[in-house]
Amino acid sequence: MQAFRTTLARCVAACGTGAGALAVALRDAEPASNLGLPSTGPASKLVHELSFGVDPALASDFKTWLATYLKSLLQLPGMQGAKVLAPATPFTPTPGVVFVLGGPGAGKGTQCGLIVEKCGYTHLSAGDLLRAERKSGSAQGQMIDEYIKEGKIVPVEVTVKLLVDAIKASGAQRVLVDGFPRNTNNLSGWQQVVGDSLQLGGVLFYDCPEEVMQERLLERGKTSGRSDDNIESIKKRFTTYLNETMPILQYYEHQGMVHKIDGTREVDDVWADSKAAVATMERRFVASDQAAVAVHVYSTDVPPTTSEAVVARVAKAAAQQFGEGKVSVTGRALLIDSSLKAYDLDALRAFD
Ligand code: UP5
Ligand code: MG
């Protein structure tokens, strides 16, 4: 008995601990094409590991359907059983943000207003938040005042805190971050503070020549009361935009994240493009918001059963039930290489 315990301990040590140990007991069935050939020896056991991406709105219906569907799948020859694995922590979708960039007066705020109205997004303008903070009269408020009049970019610690606090307070799932990030300091500050806690759907970029923007801002300056809607500040804002914000746009362009929109046209025409861009970003959000479900299906390799065939069969059934694109299915086959049993631990036998 002691010898057995020692061997078992060595096995467990060799395999690692926890979830890793379970994973080691299953090795990739290779090459995959072998699974399609008639087996010559005694039947081996296979685990078909299926991963589902499910539209969160369908998560509950999917769960119900999956249980019934798996029962029918298990009627097929060679199929022996299945386990549905749930994530240990409940799935919560990551809130999505869209950066809105463009020169001063390009129409960022105007288009954001429409996106809020028609698409239900929450709008947070970095400039508006800074202007509100300026009113506080604190030392920080005076510093912000100087930066805005000079068309300079306020240090990122201030702006990111205002933005992140406002995003948290809003509790929104979709947020337009207007007029940010404006330079590399903004970008790195955002990435450090936000990390993966928010997902970026893309960047709306309103492209507009300086003459048009200047005319709009001077017109607005007659009534806006903004300390930077005067010709001196406007010129400085243009320079800052060209030197510091354009590189940020190029950075995101390289990543294929920018939706460039001609901002010189009538508001409604610009809106048509904004709407299409938001729809594209929404598809990106939905794809990454999909709740993850995993299933292990156990079969023998007699008759031969390829993972591709199982995935294709399950994907077809899911598409018939929920519609194309609502449930994604991927999978692979694993051979059971060796199996370890928990010794004297009844509870752990449930995993076998
Ligand atoms: N208008 C809009 N669309 C039109 C159209 N299609 N046709 C005709 N007219 C149109 O529009 C400007 C004016 O044009 C309005 O009168 C509108 O009716 C008309 P708006 O939608 O307000 O343009 P927007 O691009 O939002 O212009 P804004 O002046 O807000 O741009 P800025 O980027 O200059 O201002 P922001 O508030 O973002 O920043 C101000 C300052 O804050 C910065 O200069 C900087 O000092 C500071 N700041 C930071 O330091 N860090 C930040 O992260 C953000 C700001
Ligand atoms: Mg604005």
Pocket of ligand 1 (CB under 6 A): 102, 104-110, 125-127, 130, 147-148, 151-154, 159, 179-180, 182, 186, 216, 220, 228, 237, 266-267, 270
Q: Which strand ranges, in their side-by-side order, compose the sheet holding 26-28?
A: 26-28, 327-336, 45-54, 291-300, 79-85
The answer to whether residue 224 is domain-embedded is: yes
Please indicate, yes or no, if residue 346 is contained in any of the structural domains: no
Query: Which among 65, 63, 119, 73 has a CA at the least distance from the CA of 291?
Result: 63
The predicted model gives 107-118 an average pLDDT of 98
Confirm if 156 and 185 have CB atoms less than 8 A apart: yes
| pLDDT tens, residue by residue, 29-59 | 433 333 343 444 556 789 999 999 888 788 8
Statement: residue 24 has pLDDT above 90: no
Domain assignment of residue 324, yes or no: no
pLDDT at 16 over 60: no
Q: How confident is the prediction for the chain on average, in pLDDT?
A: 85
Which atom of ligand 1 approaches the CA of 103 most closely? 33
Give me the domain span that covers residue 111: 96-288
Protein residue closest via CA to atom 31 of ligand 1: 104
Please check whether residue 263 lies inside any domain of the structure.
yes
The answer to whether residue 82 sits within a structural domain is no
319 compared with 57, residue with greater pLDDT: 319
pLDDT at residue 280 tops 80:
yes
pLDDT given at position 54: 87
List Cβ neighbours of 151 (8 Å cut-off, separation of 6 or more). 104, 228, 233, 234, 235, 236, 237, 238, 239, 240
The better pLDDT of the pair 243, 17 is held by 243
Whose alpha carbon is nearest atom 32 of ligand 1? 104
Sort 159 into a burial class: Cβ within 10 Å, 0-12 / 13-18 / 19+: buried
- The count of other CB atoms within 10 Å of the CB of residue 233 is 19
In a domain, 313, yes or no: no
What domain count does the chain have?
1
Whole-number Å distance, alpha carbon 125 to ligand 1 midpoint, is 9
Residue 311 and residue 331 in contact, taking contact as beta carbons nearer than 8 Å: yes
Q: Are 319 and 327 in contact (CB under 8 A)?
A: yes
Are the C-beta atoms of residues 54 and 291 closer than 8 Å to each other?
yes
Average pLDDT over residues 71-91: 87
**Quick check: is 335 in a domain?**
no
Residue 266 lies in a domain: yes
Question: Ligand 1 centre and the CA of 30: distance in Å?
Answer: 58
List Cβ neighbours of 205 (8 Å cut-off, separation of 6 or more). 101, 102, 249, 258, 259, 260, 261
- In CATH, what number is assigned to the domain containing residue 242? 3.40.50.300
